[in-house]
Structure 1
Amino acid sequence: MTEPDQLEVVYRTTKDGRTALLLYTALDRFQGCNGPDAPWFLAATSWLDELRKVRPYDVVYLDLPLPAHERIGAAR
């Protein structure tokens, strides 16, 4: 198991310049939206307040499918 301080949270930037945090409500949704090889971790929603203190974000999106070219591990 990975320690919390070794996790990397990936943020996205919206078209209007806001920092977005993408969250997924189930592993199958995450893999369907990000690809089967994207790394993931499970966290309680109570963790979001602490995360915002460490690295602020402007908006949270749930179960957002990413275009194929923006997925982690996609050929660029």
Structure 2
Amino acid sequence: MGTRLVLRKVLKYIKENYKDPEIMVTGNRYKETLGEKDVLQDALSDSNMKYYHMRHLRTLGGAFRDTCRHSVIMVFLTR
């Protein structure tokens, strides 16, 4: 089952069983092994991390639109 379908299923369950509460996503981590020489500039130019977060936000947004009345999305771009 794809990520979007799992998110939709979980959000629908929460909506139906917990009186449609506001959903808050407070963090999502992109895991990668870092070396001692990694600096902020390298992290900001990491296209894989940017793509990962873009896809994750699109999936979350679609799942929220499909199932939830209220939502708040917060993302911490961390490595």
> Normalising by structure 1, what TM-score?
0.32
> Normalising by structure 2, what TM-score?
0.31
Structure having greater relative contact order (Cα 8 Å, sep ≥ 6): 2
Bigger radius of gyration: 2
Bigger share in helix:
2
